[in-house]
Amino acid sequence: MAHQKFDVGGMTCAACQTHVEHAVENVPGVSSVSVNLLSGSMAVDYNDAACDADTICSAVDRAGYSAAPIAAAGTGAAGTSASAGTAPMESPTKKLEAAARAMKTRLIASIIFLIPLFYLGMGHMLGWPLPAVFADHAHSMTLALTELMLLLPILYMNRAYFINGFKSLAHRAPTMDALIAIGATASVAWSVYALFVMADQLARAQVHMAMMTAMDNLYFESAGTILTLVTVGKYLECRSKSKTGSAIEGLIDLAPKQAHLVSPDGSESTVDATLVQMGQILRVKPGESIPVDGVVVEGSTAVDESALTGESIPQEKTVGDTVYAATINRTGSFDLRATRVGSDTNLSKIIQLVEDANATKAPIARLADKVAGVFVPVVLGIAAVTFIVWLAAGGSITQALTASVAVLVISCPCALGLATPVAIMVGTGRGAEMGVLFKNAEALETLQKVDTVVLDKTGTITRGKPAVVDIMPQVRSDGSAMTQKQLMKLACALERGSEHPLAEAIMDHADKLGIVARSVEDFRAIPGQGVTAHEGQNVIAAGNARLMDSLGIAYSNETLVTLSAQGKTPLLFAKNGELVGIIAVADEVKPTSPEAIRALANLGIRSVMLTGDNAVTAQAIARSAGIDSAAVIAGVMPADKERHVHELQRAGHRVAMVGDGINDSPALARADVGLAIGAGADIAKEGADVILMHSDLADVARALELSRAVIRNIKQDLFWALFYNSMGIPLAAGVLYPLLGWQLSPMFGAAAMSLSSVCVVTNALRLRRFRSRSC
Ligand SMILES: Nc1ncnc2c1ncn2[C@@H]1O[C@H](COP(=O)(O)OP(=O)(O)OP(=O)(O)O)[C@@H](O)[C@H]1O
Ligand SMILES: [Cu+]
């Protein structure tokens, strides 16, 4: 299977998006495709044995659009590309800005010709003073020809609508441009016909009748106005769209443009940061941002990593520590060896992740896409019916034409097609600013439906940095007991081979006491229970009550309950079938956890705690975190966490799982939405749909609120788009004519159409200012 992103050219509206999708879907070997109208890009999954990027591009070409593969980041080729480092990413924002500039030029030029055209076209009806050459009835032909001359440059400037529109008709996949092109062409054609009628009337010296024809049937100013207004809409839309990516733009700007390269001979030179290669030595001075990911090789400093982790306290860095691009060097000057450059740096991966999320499609967009796909043909049909009904009901050709042109230009599928991608783009960007990375649009949509949040205990509710608090040697059957130091030595020997956070706590404490670990044989880790090993002739073990039970070792339950009730985790140590001591380890509840759990409750979400720890300790922690005692699931074996999530789902809950993303991957993947917390600089968390950069549970509530705000926004827009079209089309067709004798002018229709798509984009842009209310 291959995954490839493409740049797609020539798409102008939501219908185009559907046409490109259909074209690619029909290529044999393609398993999924999603086209993003907003960024003009497309993501395709295909079986590379059956087809390749070229076949896909030519399928797009045949549909009347263009496509070109974008060099993929994250595949093996990235970062090792010959051009040293990788070229800075081409941002969709830049493309949109360029499009907006081009639109502006086109718009200004159109307006310059439209003003006199409009004055001449409408002036004589409104009694405005006209220059003497046009004032006389006998000069109606001069007036008409002048109008035509003024219209020609407007037609030329806006030729793209005609070219794209008629091309799409030729491909039998009409787009919105086809509606505009047909509407404008009909107006112009009818007016030109009227011109010939006038010429004939003048030749027969019917001066007054020629004037009447000019007043009733000339539509040059209408065609000019329609085109100009559509361009106004397109321009405003492009301008707003270019703002949707500003959050990503902000991330890209975080990385410094230049780096100080230190040559092997010790001399320093300033180079473009994108040209830095792996292994090169760079110098970073106080106050500067770090240009690439690397390892400190000389000097020491404090680094503000808040851009990546949200942690505002600067981190001490000395030789051997890793530093990340876009973090800020606060105090000292140091040298680093570049380890990840170009598209491999963490920052680039974050940006890539957000951009990839934008290439995916939220389920809610599918319905809108379906409607947009049939929208244009349906509108063409309605326009034709309108024309026939008007004539059949005894209307004039002019009236019938007015109504059907109005139908063509008032209909707007773009609001339908834009609502979702614009809101998702702004939403994911805003999320990234807050340290919440959505990996796909579906996660953003699903999160707001969640009613239960399952929280892992260690590292999620608690800090995940347990510390030894009690060392309690136990009296053996022969009356002897170890000293605290002896017990620690035994513990240390056992836990040395374990990667469990509890083992780390023991090792840290041993370090402080200056204990050097002895080596053991036959080390075995029993997940969810503990570890066993041999030390010479001795059989030693460390773990929880369950492990002791299975080894048939006696212990005092009372001591365990006392320790557990204080929220400590007791670890039992045994030697040769006898209990020799208990070491209690405690992990602090993060200071932000209780507030975050309250915030979730206020959002109507039930928090459930899931842990491998014993029930008494778990309850004590739950109490201080503010979790309902009935919502604690303790003593869960690591492999069973996924099953518990599944059970909650079977009970009808929509479940989000929050974990550290290391040993909870299956549970994170099973949950409707998996959130990996505290990712900081390590964003490659498996199984998670959402990456929380900070290790603050409040981000779960924030992510949820953001998801709700985005989906609410999309629903508003979709509702508005459907409402607008279902009101606008009948009005334009003239349903009110029998009642009021009033017909909607096509010019008004074009204005309404432009406004409607601008409204949608503007509404979505409000999400840029999203703030969490609960925390
Ligand atoms: N290396 C070890 N040394 C001592 N005890 C261990 C070890 N590994 C696991 N245990 C025991 O098994 C229990 C369950 O461990 P598990 O890894 O399933 O969960 P946990 O890390 O305690 O909590 P959580 O599920 O919240 O992450 C621990 O509480 C501990 O008592
Ligand atoms: Cu439109």
Q: Count of CB atoms within 10 A of residue 448's CB?
A: 19
Ligand 1 atom nearest to 529, measured from its CA: 12
pTM of the model: 0.81
Taking the domain 257-344, which CATH number applies? 2.70.150.10
Beta strand residue intervals within 530-615, DSSP E:
530-535, 538-543, 568-575, 578-586, 606-610
Q: Specify the residue with its C-alpha closest to ligand 1, atom 24.
A: 611
CA–CA dist 704, 707 (Å, integer): 5
Specify the pLDDT at position 679. Answer: 67
SS3 call for 682: coil
Condensed to tens digits (0 to 9), the pLDDT of residues 540-593 reads: 999 999 999 999 999 988 999 999 999 899 999 999 999 999 999 999 899 999
Confidence label for 100 from pLDDT (cuts 50, 70 and 90) = confident
Q: Specify the residue with its C-alpha closest to ligand 1, atom 20.
A: 612
- Indicate which ligand has the atom closest to the C-alpha of 759: 2
Ligand 1 atom nearest to 570, measured from its CA: 31
Query: Cα 618 to the chain's mean position, in Å?
Result: 36
Confidence label for 775 from pLDDT (cuts 50, 70 and 90) = low
ipTM, 2 dp? 0.94
Judge whether 437 and 691 are in contact, CB under 8 Å: yes
- Indicate which ligand has the atom closest to the C-alpha of 527: 1
Specify the pLDDT at position 680. Answer: 60
446 CB near ligand 1 (under 6 Å): no
640 CB near ligand 1 (under 6 Å): no
When pLDDT is averaged across residues 396-425 and rounded to a whole number, the result is 84
Confidence label for 82 from pLDDT (cuts 50, 70 and 90) = very low
Q: What contacts 270, CB < 8 A, 6 or more positions away?
A: 258, 259, 260, 261
Specify the pLDDT at position 187. Answer: 87
When pLDDT is averaged across residues 277-289 and rounded to a whole number, the result is 90
Condensed to tens digits (0 to 9), the pLDDT of residues 239-255 reads: 877 777 777 777 777 78
CA–CA dist 450, 657 (Å, integer): 10
CA–CA dist 320, 317 (Å, integer): 8
Beta bridge partners of 75: none
Span from the CA of 8 to the centroid of ligand 2 (angstroms): 20
Long-range CB contacts (within 8 A, 24+) of 678-687: 678/459, 678/464, 679/437, 680/305, 680/308, 680/309, 680/311, 681/305, 681/308, 681/309, 681/322, 681/324, 681/346, 682/346, 683/346, 683/349, 683/350, 683/353, 683/437, 684/349, 685/661, 686/661, 687/661
Specify the pLDDT at position 706. Answer: 95
Q: Is the per-residue pLDDT at 170 higher than 90?
A: no
Least confident of 311-320, 594-603, 664-673, 683-692: 683-692
Identity at 257, one-letter amino acid code: K
CA distances from 685 to 353, 421, 480 (A): 12, 25, 48
Q: Count of CB atoms within 10 A of residue 29's CB?
A: 17
Q: Specify the residue with its C-alpha closest to ligand 1, atom 19.
A: 612
Specify the pLDDT at position 75. Answer: 37
**CATH class name, domain 438-463+589-701:** alpha beta
CA–CA dist 214, 223 (Å, integer): 15
**β-pairing, 632-633 with 41-46?**
unpaired
CA–CA dist 48, 30 (Å, integer): 9
Choose the residue to mutate in 460, 465, 502 for probing ligand 1, maximizing ligand atoms within 8 Å of C-beta. 502
Question: Average pLDDT, whole number, for the chain?
Answer: 85
- CA-based angle 32:34:37, to the nearest 5? 165
Alpha carbon distance, N-terminus to C-terminus of the chain: 43
498 CB near ligand 1 (under 6 Å): yes
When pLDDT is averaged across residues 611-626 and rounded to a whole number, the result is 92
Specify the pLDDT at position 88. Answer: 43
Q: Count of CB atoms within 10 A of residue 523's CB?
A: 16
- Indicate which ligand has the atom closest to the C-alpha of 418: 2
- Is position 54 annotated as part of the catalytic site? no
717 CB near ligand 1 (under 6 Å): no
Helix, strand, coil shares of the chain, percent, nearest 5, are 55, 20, 30
Identity at 384, one-letter amino acid code: A
Specify the pLDDT at position 265. Answer: 86
Confidence label for 682 from pLDDT (cuts 50, 70 and 90) = low
Task: Write the DSSP assignment of 229-277 as a string of letters.
Answer: HHHHHHHHHHHHHHHHTHHHHHHHHHS-SEEEEE-TTS-EEEEEGGG--
Specify the pLDDT at position 92. Answer: 65
Q: What contacts 212, CB < 8 A, 6 or more positions away?
A: none
- DSSP class of residue 289 equals B
Comparing 311 with 616, the larger pLDDT belongs to 616
Structural domain spans, the chain: 2-73, 93-246, 257-344, 346-437+702-774, 438-463+589-701, 467-586
611 CB near ligand 1 (under 6 Å): yes
Given 177, 369, 456, 660, which residue is catalytic?
456
300-304, 417-421, 543-547, 685-689, range with greatest mean pLDDT: 543-547
Q: Is the per-residue pLDDT at 153 higher than 90?
A: yes
Q: What contacts 404, CB < 8 A, 6 or more positions away?
A: 186, 383, 384, 386, 387, 390, 733
Least confident of 611-625, 637-651, 656-670: 656-670
530 CB near ligand 1 (under 6 Å): yes
Confidence label for 451 from pLDDT (cuts 50, 70 and 90) = very high
Condensed to tens digits (0 to 9), the pLDDT of residues 319-336 reads: 998 888 888 898 888 999
Q: Specify the residue with its C-alpha closest to ligand 1, atom 7.
A: 530
Ligand 1 atom nearest to 506, measured from its CA: 3
Ligand 1 atom nearest to 618, measured from its CA: 26
Identity at 423, one-letter amino acid code: A
Least confident of 70-79, 334-343, 542-551: 70-79
Condensed to tens digits (0 to 9), the pLDDT of residues 353-376 reads: 877 777 777 788 777 777 777 888
Span from the CA of 529 to the centroid of ligand 1 (angstroms): 6
Residues above pLDDT 70, as percent of the chain: 94
What is the radius of gyration, based on Cα positions, of the chain? 35
Comparing 132 with 29, the larger pLDDT belongs to 29
Judge whether 560 and 598 are in contact, CB under 8 Å: no
500 CB near ligand 1 (under 6 Å): yes
Token pair listed for 692: 């929380």
Beta bridge partners of 4: 44
Architecture field, domain 467-586: 3-Layer(aba) Sandwich (3.40)
Query: Cα 685 to the chain's mean position, in Å?
Result: 17
Specify the pLDDT at position 81. Answer: 36
Q: What contacts 148, CB < 8 A, 6 or more positions away?
A: 191, 192, 195, 220
Span from the CA of 95 to the centroid of ligand 2 (angstroms): 20
Q: Is the per-residue pLDDT at 627 higher than 90?
A: yes
Fold type of domain 2-73: Alpha-Beta Plaits (3.30.70)
Q: What contacts 345, CB < 8 A, 6 or more positions away?
A: 255, 292, 293, 324, 325, 326
Specify the pLDDT at position 310. Answer: 61
Specify the pLDDT at position 76. Answer: 36
Span from the CA of 736 to the centroid of ligand 2 (angstroms): 23
Specify the pLDDT at position 77. Answer: 36
- Indicate which ligand has the atom closest to the C-alpha of 568: 1
Condensed to tens digits (0 to 9), the pLDDT of residues 685-725 reads: 667 899 888 888 999 999 999 999 999 999 998 888 888 88
CA–CA dist 571, 695 (Å, integer): 26
Q: Specify the residue with its C-alpha closest to ligand 1, atom 27.
A: 458
